[in-house]
A and B are shown apart, each in its own frame.
Chain A
Amino acid sequence: MPNVMSKWPVFFRSIAETLVMVGCSGALAFVLGLFFGIVVTVTKKGGVMQHTTVYQALDKVVNFFRSIPFIILLAGLIPLTRWIMGSAIGVKGAIVPLVFGTTPFFTRQIESALAEVDRGVVEAAQSMGSGPIEIVFRVYLKESLAGIARGTTITAINLIGLSAMAGAVGAGGLGDFAIRYGHQRNQLDVTYVTVLTLVLIVNVIQFLGVTVARRNSH
């Protein structure tokens, strides 16, 4: 692995860049997706805060962003990214498009996790005098923890995939590292080491997700 050996600092910096991108945009997408997923669920017809207008609007927006290929989103969002972050390049420049690319997907993951909560259980909570907010926290979120953990795992792994494309705006990261050296300079060992690193990261995430899901399934 002569090529990798000579690039340890770049390699480690790439790992750090990937983790920062995935960590920051993942955290944001988690909060936003969780919120939107809950809103979609409760405003749906028959939901505990049924509201057709809100539901329809959110549903359409989510579908809209889910239809845009990430690489196009990356380019298309440049003005917005620059406005929010002050820069459209580097790790900073990648976070906004990554959040836009991941949140709609995670919203659907949350929506499907919450849909697993039996309507009858929600009804039972209502019969005991619980209001909508209490039902969200004490019934929906509590009952679907395992499903949320699974959805989060899938989304996080997806997000790592997306982050490989962020090299296009100069954000660096493992994907960029592999393309620049492994592909463009034909240094195959760089590609292999990168892939192994990604396999490792994905496995760690998968393991965490499965463990959380299992602990919360009864």
Chain B
Amino acid sequence: MIVLENVSKAFETEDRTVEAVRDVNLKIERGEVYGIIGFSGAGKSTLVRCVNLLERPTAGRVYVDGVELTGLPERELRRARKKIGMIFQQFNLFASRTVAQNIAYPLKYGGLSKRRIADRVQELLSLVGLEDKERDYPSQLSGGQKQRVAIARALANDPGILLCDEATSSLDPQTTLSILKLLKDLNVKLGITIVVITHEMQVVKEICDRVAVMENGSIVEEGDVFSVFADPKKQITRDFIDTTSNLSKIYALIARNASIVQLKPGECIVRLKYLEKNVSEALVSTISRRFNIDANIIFGDIELLGDAPIGGLIFIMSGNGEDIDGALAFLRNKNVGVEVILDAGGGAGASERPDAQRDVEVAGVFQVHS
């Protein structure tokens, strides 16, 4: 278990002080995969280095498995670090050592015989699926293979925690997936706690149980991945969701008045968002039938997070005003997020195009989460 208590880290430069991490409180349970997401410069890499004290916090305390690392003398801190593995974006392998020698590096001085070290290296190689690469040098490996070696090396001393600092950020999408899968497998097989630092939404979606969103050195939002992403409270979290969702394209379409969003009287554009894990009802067909309206789905973005669908739909509802109001009320009752993005108005003569920009703002005000 990792506990950060009021951790801050400031860097002094010539003319000013940069507060990279500000008063962070965090609790990461044993065996979970915990994501810390933020744009570059948010302080997440500094924060993760505060866990193994590669960066010593300027204030606050760090506990790992009940031991206060911030209170340990240098020598014992080094011993504690052997039980906290870490991997990096740039892999940081020793170029002058073979794969096997890289993995054996942290095992030296650990009291193991040469024979035992060799056996352990073999074990780790097969754990990461690189049995045939032991004699290769890092320069002969692909990015994904390098990261596998780095993972094996980080796991050499059986750590209870693995810190991943942008571990997949320099890999292609397919390799990223295979490394994430390996991490998830290790989490399940070894019960190791994994802390993942990333700026990629996909990484969090793929393997994390809980997530913290970081901005300007602070954690602005935290919780289990589904609730944070189903119902984001902060703008930055929405920005991250938008990076992997196309639902916000609707605003761009409206802004340039694309033909698909040109409404006839009695129509409105609605955005539905799933807020709870148990949405399985046929909502769209229900409202069509019950309120006698047409629902024309423009586009949608629904995917699985764990085993629950997350995302939403954008559709045009047309019908008479009362029916539309009724349908909206029905949806809100069903615990889905409903947002009327653009409304052409019900009455005749509403064919005049309303100002799109103003309506976007209005939609923001009327946004309803039930």
| A and B associate in one complex | yes
Q: Are B97 and A127 in contact (CB under 8 A)?
A: no
The reply on A216 being an interface residue by CB < 8 A is yes
Q: A133-157: contact bitstring with B at CB < 8 Å (1 yes, 0 no)?
A: 0100011001101000000000000
From B84, B92, B137, give the contact of A124 (CB < 8 A).
B92
What's the least CB distance linking A129 to chain B, in Å?
4
Q: Which of A127, A131, A218 makes the CB contact (< 8 A) with B54?
A: A127
CB distance from B305 to the nearest CB of A (A): 31
B78 within 8 A of A: yes
Extra pairs beyond A129-B78, A142-B94, A145-B96 (9, CB < 8 Å): A120-B90, A123-B92, A124-B150, A128-B82, A128-B106, A128-B154, A129-B81, A139-B94, A218-B138
Task: Report yes or no: B96 in contact with A218, Cβ–Cβ below 8 A.
Answer: yes
Shortest C-beta distance, A130 to chain B (Å), equals: 7
Q: Within the complex, what minimum Cβ distance (angstroms) separates B139 from chain A?
A: 6
Verify A127–B52 contact, CB threshold 8 A: yes
Give the residues from 106 to 120 in chain B that come closer than 8 angstroms, CB to CB, to chain A. Answer: 106, 108-109
CB of A126 within 8 Å of the partner chain: yes
**Contact flags (1/0) for B73-112 with A, using CB distance below 8 Å?**
0110011111011101010111111000000011011000
Decide: B88 and A128 in contact? CB cutoff 8 A. Answer: no
Q: Is the CB of B81 within 8 A of A127?
A: yes
Which residues does chain A contribute within 8 Å of B137, judged by CB atoms?
Answer: 218
User: Is B94's CB under 8 angstroms from A121's CB?
Assistant: yes
B153 at the interface (CB under 8 A from A): yes
Q: Are B78 and A120 touching (Cβ within 8 A)?
A: no
Whether A129 and B96, one on each chain, are in contact in the complex, defined by CB atoms closer than 8 angstroms, is no
Q: Which residues of B contact A120 (CB under 8 A)?
A: 88, 90, 92
A123 & B81 in contact (Cβ 8 Å cutoff) = no
Tally of B interface residues using CB under 8 Å: 33
* Chain B CB within 10 Å, residue with most, of A124, A125, A130, A142: A124
Residues of chain B contacted by A139 (CB below 8 angstroms):
94
If A138-B105, A218-B137, A218-B139 touch, does A126 touch B54 (CB 8 Å cutoff)? yes
Given contacts A123-B54, A138-B105, contact A128 B95 (CB under 8 A): no
Closest chain B residue to A130, Cβ basis = B78
A138 to B105, CA, bound (A): 9
Residues of B within 8 A of A129 (CB): 78-82, 106, 157
Decide: A143 near B81, CB < 8 A? Known: A128-B105, A128-B106. no
Which positions 237-294 of chain B face chain A at CB distance < 8 Å?
none
Complexed CA–CA distance, A130 and B105 (Å): 10
Inter-chain contact A126/B81, CB cutoff 8 Å: yes
- Give the residue name and chain of the B residue nearest to A143 (CB): B96
* Docked-complex contact A127 and B95, CB < 8 angstroms: no
| Nearest A residue (CB) for B105 | A128
Q: Is the CB of B88 within 8 A of A124?
A: yes
B74 / chain A contacts, CB cutoff of 8 Å: 131
Chain B residue, CB-CB nearest to A127: B86
Which residues from B are CB-within-8-Å of A218? 95-96, 137-139
Which residues of A sit under 8 angstroms from B52, Cβ to Cβ?
127
Q: Report the separation of the CA atoms of residues A120 and B75 in the bound assembly, to the nearest whole angstrom.
A: 21
| 8 A-B pairs in the complex with CB atoms less than 8 angstroms apart | A118-B90, A121-B93, A127-B52, A127-B54, A128-B82, A128-B105, A143-B96, A216-B96
Most chain B CB neighbours (cut-off 10 Å) among A125, A129, A131, A139: A129
Q: How far is the CA of A125 from the CA of B153 in the complex (A)?
A: 10
**How far is A121 from B96 in the complex, measured between Cα atoms in Å?**
11
Instruction: State in angstroms the CA–CA spacing of A123 and B96 once bound together.
Output: 16
Cα distance A126–B154 in the bound complex, in angstroms: 12
Contact between B86 and A124, CB atoms less than 8 A apart: yes
> With a CB–CB cut-off of 8 A, which chain A residues contact B86?
124, 127-128
Residue of B nearest to A125 (CB): B105
The interface residues of chain B lying within 8 Å CB-to-CB of A145 are: 96
Q: How far is the CB of A210 from chain B (nearest CB, A)?
A: 17
A44 to chain B, nearest CB (A): 16
Cβ-closest chain A residue relative to B107 = A128
CA distance A15 to B369 in the complex (A): 91
**Per a CB cutoff under 8 Å, which of A118, A134, A216 touches B92?**
A118
User: Given the complex of chains A and B, what is the CA–CA distance between A134 and B74 in angstroms?
Assistant: 14
Q: Which residue of A lies closest to B108 (CB)?
A: A138
Give the residues from 131 to 190 in chain B that come closer than 8 angstroms, CB to CB, to chain A.
Answer: 137-139, 150, 153-154, 156-157, 163
Question: Contacts of A130 on B, CB cut-off 8 Å?
Answer: 78
Assess A143 versus B105: contact at CB under 8 Å? Given A124-B86, A130-B78.
Answer: no
For the complex, what is the distance from the CA of A139 to the CA of B105, rounded to whole Å?
10
B84 engages A127 (CB within 8 Å): yes
Smallest CB-CB separation from B150: which chain A residue?
A124
In the complex, A118 Cα to B88 Cα: how many Å? 13
Q: Are B106 and A142 in contact (CB under 8 A)?
A: no
Across the interface, do A121 and B78 meet the contact criterion of CB distance under 8 Å? no
What's the Cα separation between A121 and B97 when bound, in Å? 12
Q: Which of B182-237 contact A (CB under 8 A)?
A: none
A143 touches B78 (CB 8 A): no
Distance A130 CA – B74 CA, assembled complex (angstroms): 11
A125–B150 alpha-carbon span in the complex (Å): 11
* A146 nearest CB neighbor, chain B only: B96
What CA separation (Å) do A21 and B86 show in the bound complex? 49
